[in-house]
Structure 1
Amino acid sequence: MATAPARKGTQGHRLQVKTNSFLITLQSSPGAYIHYDDFNPTIDKSRRAFEIIDQLQISEPRIFNPRAVFDGRRNLFAKSDTLNGEYEVHMSNRPGKGIFKVKLMRVSSIEPANIQRLMASGGAQQGENTMALNLLQIVVRQATNMRHGFAPDARAFFVQNGSRDMPMGLQAWHGYFQSVRPVLGKLLINVDVVNSLVYRPGDLTALAMAFLNRNNIRQLDQISPQDFRRLKSHLKGVNVTVVTSRTGRGRPIKDLVLNAGGYEFEKDGAVTTVRAHYQQAHNRPLQHPRIFGVRIGRDAVIPAELCRVLPGQLYRKKIPPEMGADFLKFATQKPDARLKAIEDAVSGKDQLFDYQTSDFVRDARMLVNANALAVSGRVLPVPRIQYGDSKFEQIRDKRGAWNILNKKFLEPGVIPTWAIIVFDDNAPVDAVNSLAAMLRRNLEALGIRDDPPREKHNPYQAAQALDTIAQRATIAGDRGQQISPAIIIVLLPANAPELRRAVKHWGDVTRGIPTQCLRSGKWQKLNDQYINNIALKINAKLGGINSKIDGGLIPQGCMVVGMDVGHPGPGVVTRPSVTSLVASVNWDCTQYVAFSGVQQPRVEMINNLEDMLTRAMTQFALRWKGNYPGSIVFFRDGVSEGEFEKVSQNEVLNIKQILRDMDQINQNGQPILGQKAYKSGALPKITFIVVGKRHHVRFFPRSKQEADGSGNCPPGFIIDDEITNAKYPDYYLQSHSGIQGSKYQVSLLCSRNHDACSYQRLSFNLCHVYASATRSVSIPAPRVCARAENHFPEEMHFEESDTASTTSGRAEFDLARWADSFKLARTNMTRQMYFL
């Protein structure tokens, strides 16, 4: 690996801020911790495993003194070196019931030096001291998670105080994230406010009625097959207690059963029903025997009316679109309120974390500072921007935004013909005509000749309707050739994700005609700013250039590449992950080609990188008469810190090999065998930067005068020391007006011409050339993964996640079937920014 660049940049004015990190002081050497493994028997649920270990420590206080910490899986850390052996743990008062045997085996010793090396310059080597960091995480989280009833290895806990009822039997809860972060020269705890949907605790029947939008429990007697499937999917895995149970321990729902009271099973050699069993065994007549029940364990069927949902169970699926706006409103906090909530939770009146009282933290000789850490960063200069027929203008808005009223496109595309199709029955004809007139005025620079045909069509036959209007908008060219519409404007109902997907599949994959969807409730306002923003997207989709920034972003001959992997929703293992790559093909980084593919779910390494990168390089060479880029800057999105080293190093090696093997092309884009694109030893310079947005590090200005209009740090705020990684050169950049910035880690810096300031500046400048925005954005290169979901046929979007066949209890995934169904975007679309 090349020598890391200087950590400290010189551009921009300094700015003092607070961060949501708290300094850990090691008061004295904590001594060694002994790592024990091989917890036996293996327990699938970490909370249950923790209960067993906790009971073991309670029953053997002389041996476990001080108390050991346990991660809920296999790893136990103790001060004692004499715990090897097998222990019997009784989890029930009934003779012969609830007996567990726990086997502990010494694995290694974690010394204070292991912890010190985490903070040393260069950091720990690959794989080294990972267990030391795991130990610190468990020590910090143990008391807090025990207090709030969450799994011992949970990174966040949630509290019901301040919760809000939501649709579908869900509630929105506030919570707190915590993580130990070793940085250069110190240990920090990163604490952040988080929010989640949880299943509404209490009666299971009440949750079911809320989900199905029923107001009377008797309405659960009759549930349609479709609603029953939906309810089963919604409740599967939810932990419930049974009112007749002696233990009160929660058990997960495996399945649902209709008419639970009438469900028959064999008992004492005779057939009986669930209803009769509860009357005879528990003297409990069922009030609603015809409603559904739940299957728990191997074959137990419990009536829903006897089940209670345990509190604090996170809803781990994708947030339903219909409650997205309400959940966002619940989760949104002003920056100063967010910081106050964090400080109160750590050291104020709430004291939710127990850092000061935790015996686990105290035994580790750790002291957590009560005050949020103050750090110093810089604010990078905001670039100047240019539109057509004007000079470069300074962006003066503190939010990093600018206005495009009365501006012209820098390079207009061409619209010889276009069309408007209406799939919204409630769209008034006069409003559609007004929209067409406003769009025509804003798009005059694109060469619009006539008014577009505009018609209402059946949304349930989207493809046929689009074919019809495309044919009606087709015109004859000067040489008699047929010219299809350059763009079709599609007016959709307010909430129609399936219809939008069908439109994009038709445009991107089937016909290769760009589409611009407008949602009801948005376009009817017909204000200039909204229409101008639509015009920006349209021009970019046609291959035009809206604007550029001053000074150039990259030297001529350089390509900027963005790579990403989009994974299916939480817990989904029967849908593939989607890979994508975008690459700039001009010096201003305003035009990109885009490619995508599919691979095994939840695999982070990009398996089709060779195909996508080769195609991108081919497009670059066709654009520049056979010349290939002399340097390439890769922005790799979506890699967690745990996979950073593996992914970055393997992908960099893969990239180099792809470039070595790449053939030169002719004017038609076909490879010339025997002629390599790069001669041996003359590969382009590579800069590989991992971009992380899902971190929890936040920055808070000290005063309103130093903040933007929303109370956040101004766009361009950057931190490249004090709290940065001990091993890799990295930096935090808040490129847009928002609470969350991006974290950039540079894993390989081959180009000597790129010092720390140059690639930091490049990252910030790239956030100002996103074609569909008139403000700085959060990412330096466009993303395509979400759009690639439209490349599947519609029937692939409705498959149940639990219908996959299984082998040895694990889902079998048929990648070939998904790959065959995945259709690449039409060639002309990959050359245009159709994904905007």
Structure 2
Amino acid sequence: MQQTKSDLKIGKKENVRVFEKMKEENRDVFSSYPLAFDGYKNAYSVDVLPSFKEKKTLTFEVILALEEDDDDPVSCTVQISLGISRKLRELMESLNCTDIHKKIPSTIFRMLDTMLRYRRSLRYEAVGKKRFFSVNREINHPIDIGPAVQGVAGFFSSMKASAHEKGSIMINIDLAHTTFYKEQPLLDFIKNVLHVERKDLNAPLDTEIRKRLECGLVDLRVETTHIPRTYRIIGLGMHGPDRQKFPWNNKESGKIEQRTVQDYFNKEYNKSIKYPKLICIQAYPEEKNIYLPLEYCVVARGQRSFGNLSNNEAGNFIRSSAIPPGRRLEQIKKIYNDNEFAKDEMIASLKFEVAKSPFTVTGRVLSPPKLRMGQVVQPKTGEWDTRREKFYLGAAVNTWAVIDYTSTWEGSLEKYIRNLRSLGDRKGMVFKSPVIVTKGNRKNVTQQFQNLKKKFPEIQMILVVLEEADPLYSCIKTVGDLEIRVITQCVKKRCVEECRFVTIGNLLFKINAKMGGINTIWSRRPKLMEQLLMVMGADVNHPSAGDARTPSMAAVVASIDKYVSKYAVEVRPQKHRNEIIHEFKEMTKNLLKSFCEALNNCKPKRIIVYRDGVSDIQFSQVLQHELLAIREACKELEETYKPAITFVVVMKRHHTRFFPVNEMGKNIPPGTVVDSGITHPIERDFYLCSHHGIKGTSRPAHYHVLWDDNNLTMDQLQEFTYNMCHVYSRCSKSVSLPAPVAYAHLAAFRAKVHATEANMQESELDNIKMNREKELSSKLYYI
């Protein structure tokens, strides 16, 4: 698309509006076949438009206002050229193929996916390519989750290839949730979202305040209250309405005059300015010099929120989006019927037929492994009773300290320490009295920790009492992990004062594992562990939305004992939002060395890698880089060293949900496996729900086997994976992911805490050296 103004840039939404108006004004050209547009450069139809028989390129002129309520429409030139032709038969043949090296043609699949979602993208607010939302209560009422944001329900819709009937295409529909900004005065938005008080908005602005406002306000749409118009913010003025001037065309004199915003509002609209010193916003288009007072602006509805939610908002959002399985299934069916997928003109033009009810698939439930603590315990419905059980291997906590950064009553703290030691002893730990119990100095945490380390060089752990959601947490973890390299365990003041044995018991699970103990092992080792096995977990933590400067953090963990219970960790910063782990070879080599040191210089014969956070379009890239990196690490350790490697990608961010047919309204039980029907038609994958869903609808993990030198059967891999979900050190429950994946996730998140606390920038990557001291690299300091 081309616009008459060379400097005018329009986005995807505006492109679609131009495209739709072009179709509407030229129905004789576009009536033959439905046409879907991706919002950028590609449009798809089931056959060639008749007009292309006469011309290779079609050109249309479209005139419309690109911004809502804009009284200055622009002329757009749209050129459509005939693109490539792909036969649907290629896709269907690939779905029926049994050759594992045969790839499903991604171009055709992308075309079909665009055609499926196009009608939905016109009706709803699209977030990404596959999620659709409406703030008009078409799906569900918005939920108030905070002073400035609301939770909005929508749906996910996508096509996927499946193994059903030797290969077929399915439509995946599920509920989706996100947050939108509320309609609210712009001054309230600035206070509640950007955390800038009204007194700080007086011109001229502080440099840091201006930067924060520009970051949070640019591209935000606002409605004005003096006239019914919608504007898009493009920046800030330099002054308040009393001094902010703009060129005004005096029609009487025919001259351009400089006029203040305050004078203009007073005389043109008979509106007074209550806050004449507050900075003005500038609205699109820039050349019109539109400046608006903050007090006459309201945040327009239908805008997705960005940035981090507060702890309270995040909790409210999670609770509001936890939909029980019975209600979730009914809402999915309603979405399907309301959107008339079966009658979709695109689907009809492809001569596809869509089933009228959800697909039924057969699954099975795996038996949980027996576990050994003090005695053998048998998990039931995803958990086991540990109240009378000792840890398999209790740690010794000989030298430790307590620092209280709250106003906890001294008697409460003494009682808590007594009960912590008493219960620790009953769990098989050695828990001596703390060498010091002291009040914390919030103004100088680093110095206090360093003094403690200097006074007690053998100190193993520092127990820290904090307030709820205490901002000091990041500082404590950074100083403990990187400065003095001592285990830290934080506990909330509320938990100290309540002093419940249940919460103390949960805390001891973490402390024992952090201090080198082993909480739980399998009572019977799987057959594949007859040869020495190392299990690895890998994940990358990316910066929050809106943060363009902080690097991503990659973490890889590996088991270093014969029980796959103790783990070493390697963490590296890398380029912003890059998912491929660039230093995988060096990290793996260090982990192999840690394994050898812990097991009398023996190297693992087998390696199983669980890789989290990878989407299906990145499979080949991950395999080429990261599998090769592991092989090279082994070779550098010893030229002839070639262990058998199994590489499995674990995906949680998907929208496949299972609902038991005979127990409608309930979640599927822990251990449920599905490996047919909806799985990939060619590649090896399976779904496993390993945890008990307490609230909302259980989401199974999706496991995709990218490589398997160990020649494991699907039954072997599924059983081993399910077993790995039972040895997570933080609790006595089976969790939704194998333990090493969960550890890698936590380690990467802890590295993000370190980076944020140190204000680490991606531009400094070459100079950043993450702490790799041995004191903590072989401990679960991050759990």
Q: Normalized against structure 1, the TM-score is what?
A: 0.82
Is residue 491 from structure 1 mapped to residue 485 from structure 2 by the alignment? no
Q: Distance in 2 between matches of 1:459 and 1:770?
A: 33
Counterpart in the other structure of 1:148: 124
| Contact 1:576–1:601 under 8 Å retained in 2 | yes
One of 602, 620, 623 as aligned partner of 2:595: 620
Encode CA deviations 1:609-635: one digit per residue, 9 max, x unaligned.
122111000011112222211110111
Shift of 1:769: 0.6
The structure carrying a bigger helix percent of its residues is: 2
One of 372, 394, 403 as aligned partner of 2:358: 372
Q: Would the alpha carbon gap of residues 214 and 361 (structure 1) be closer, same or farther in structure 2, given more than 3 Å must change?
A: same
Task: Trace 1:452-463 onto structure 2 (pairs within 5 A).
Answer: 452-463=435-446
| Contact 2:534–2:604 under 8 Å retained in 1 | yes
Q: Distance in 2 between matches of 1:316 and 1:191?
A: 25
Q: Which amino acid aligns with 1:633?
A: I
| Contact 2:241–2:276 under 8 Å retained in 1 | yes
Is residue 827 from structure 1 mapped to residue 774 from structure 2 by the alignment? yes
Shift of 1:356: 4.2
Aligned residue for 2:504, secondary structure, equals helix
Q: Would the alpha carbon gap of residues 564 and 376 (structure 1) be closer, same or farther in structure 2, given more than 3 Å must change?
A: same
Counterpart in the other structure of 1:760: 718
Percent of matched pairs sharing the same residue:
23
Q: Distance in 2 between matches of 1:588 and 1:629?
A: 13
- Relative contact order, higher structure (CA 8 A, sep 6+): 1
Encode CA deviations 1:151-195: one digit per residue, 9 max, x unaligned.
794533234421123334211111111111111222111111121
Q: Distance in 2 between matches of 1:294 and 1:729?
A: 55
* Farther off after superposition, 259-268 or 436-445: 259-268
| Contact 1:564–1:638 under 8 Å retained in 2 | yes
Q: Would the alpha carbon gap of residues 311 and 154 (structure 1) be closer, same or farther in structure 2, given more than 3 Å must change?
A: farther
Task: Trace 1:44-193 onto structure 2 (pairs within 5 A).
Answer: 44-65=10-31, 66-78=33-45, 79-81=47-49, 82-83=51-52, 84-92=57-65, 97-117=73-93, 119-121=95-97, 129-150=105-126, 153-161=129-137, 162-184=141-163, 185-193=167-175
C-alpha RMSD over aligned residues = 3.1
| Contact 2:480–2:488 under 8 Å retained in 1 | yes
Counterpart in the other structure of 1:264: 245
Q: Which amino acid aligns with 1:49?
A: N
Shift of 1:465: 2.3
Aligned residue for 1:613, secondary structure, equals helix
Q: Would the alpha carbon gap of residues 825 and 643 (structure 1) be closer, same or farther in structure 2, given more than 3 Å must change?
A: same
Aligned residue for 1:342, secondary structure, equals helix
Shift of 1:651: 1.7
Encode CA deviations 1:270-325: one digit per residue, 9 max, x unaligned.
43222334556667665654444322343542333444433221113232223121
Is residue 577 from structure 1 mapped to residue 558 from structure 2 by the alignment? no
Task: Trace 1:247-646 onto structure 2 (pairs within 5 A).
Answer: 251-255=232-236, 259-267=240-248, 269-278=256-265, 286=273, 288-297=275-284, 298=286, 300-347=290-337, 351=338, 353-388=339-374, 390=375, 392-396=376-380, 398=381, 400-425=382-407, 427-444=408-425, 445-471=428-454, 474=456, 483-496=457-470, 498-553=471-526, 554-646=529-621
Q: Distance in 1 between matches of 2:182 and 2:595?
A: 54
| Contact 1:318–1:569 under 8 Å retained in 2 | yes
Q: Would the alpha carbon gap of residues 144 and 795 (structure 1) be closer, same or farther in structure 2, given more than 3 Å must change?
A: same
Encode CA deviations 1:440-464: one digit per residue, 9 max, x unaligned.
1122343333344211112232122
Is residue 737 from structure 1 mapped to residue 724 from structure 2 by the alignment? no
| Contact 2:222–2:233 under 8 Å retained in 1 | yes
Counterpart in the other structure of 1:773: 731
Q: Distance in 1 between matches of 2:200 and 2:114?
A: 47
* Farther off after superposition, 202-211 or 311-320: 202-211
Q: Would the alpha carbon gap of residues 319 and 614 (structure 1) be closer, same or farther in structure 2, given more than 3 Å must change?
A: same
Is residue 691 from structure 1 mapped to residue 650 from structure 2 by the alignment? yes
Shift of 1:385: 0.8
Q: Would the alpha carbon gap of residues 790 and 826 (structure 1) be closer, same or farther in structure 2, given more than 3 Å must change?
A: farther
Counterpart in the other structure of 1:34: none
Q: Gaps (5+ residues) in structure 1? A: 1-36, 475-482, 664-676, 800-812
Shift of 1:750: 1.1
Q: Would the alpha carbon gap of residues 154 and 715 (structure 1) be closer, same or farther in structure 2, given more than 3 Å must change?
A: closer
Q: Distance in 2 between matches of 1:620 and 1:152?
A: 42
Aligned residue for 2:472, secondary structure, equals helix
Q: Distance in 2 between matches of 1:519 and 1:118?
A: 56
Aligned pairs, number: 742
Encode CA deviations 1:467-492: one digit per residue, 9 max, x unaligned.
344455x2xxxxxxxx5221111111
| Contact 1:198–1:313 under 8 Å retained in 2 | yes
| Contact 1:792–1:823 under 8 Å retained in 2 | no
Aligned residue for 2:459, secondary structure, equals coil
| Contact 2:120–2:132 under 8 Å retained in 1 | no
Q: Distance in 2 between matches of 1:741 and 1:411?
A: 31
Q: Which amino acid aligns with 1:327?
A: F
| Contact 1:508–1:826 under 8 Å retained in 2 | no
Aligned residue for 1:201, secondary structure, equals coil
Q: Distance in 2 between matches of 1:256 and 1:454?
A: 54
| Contact 2:222–2:300 under 8 Å retained in 1 | yes
Q: Distance in 2 between matches of 1:275 and 1:560?
A: 68
Shift of 1:269: 4.6
Counterpart in the other structure of 2:707: 748
Shift of 1:67: 3.3
Is residue 197 from structure 1 mapped to residue 183 from structure 2 by the alignment? no
Q: Distance in 1 between matches of 2:71 and 2:507?
A: 72
Q: Would the alpha carbon gap of residues 186 and 250 (structure 1) be closer, same or farther in structure 2, given more than 3 Å must change?
A: farther
Q: Distance in 1 between matches of 2:10 and 2:491?
A: 47
Shift of 1:237: 2.8
Aligned residue for 1:552, secondary structure, equals coil
Aligned residue for 1:85, secondary structure, equals strand
Q: Would the alpha carbon gap of residues 449 and 501 (structure 1) be closer, same or farther in structure 2, given more than 3 Å must change?
A: same
| Contact 1:585–1:591 under 8 Å retained in 2 | yes
Q: Would the alpha carbon gap of residues 633 and 795 (structure 1) be closer, same or farther in structure 2, given more than 3 Å must change?
A: closer
Q: Would the alpha carbon gap of residues 608 and 616 (structure 1) be closer, same or farther in structure 2, given more than 3 Å must change?
A: same
Q: Distance in 2 between matches of 1:521 and 1:223?
A: 44
Q: Would the alpha carbon gap of residues 449 and 734 (structure 1) be closer, same or farther in structure 2, given more than 3 Å must change?
A: same
* Farther off after superposition, 162-171 or 742-751: 162-171
| Contact 1:736–1:778 under 8 Å retained in 2 | yes
Q: Which amino acid aligns with 2:689?
A: Q
Aligned residue for 1:114, secondary structure, equals helix
Q: Distance in 1 between matches of 2:715 and 2:601?
A: 32
| Contact 1:561–1:581 under 8 Å retained in 2 | yes
Q: Gaps (5+ residues) in structure 2? A: 249-254
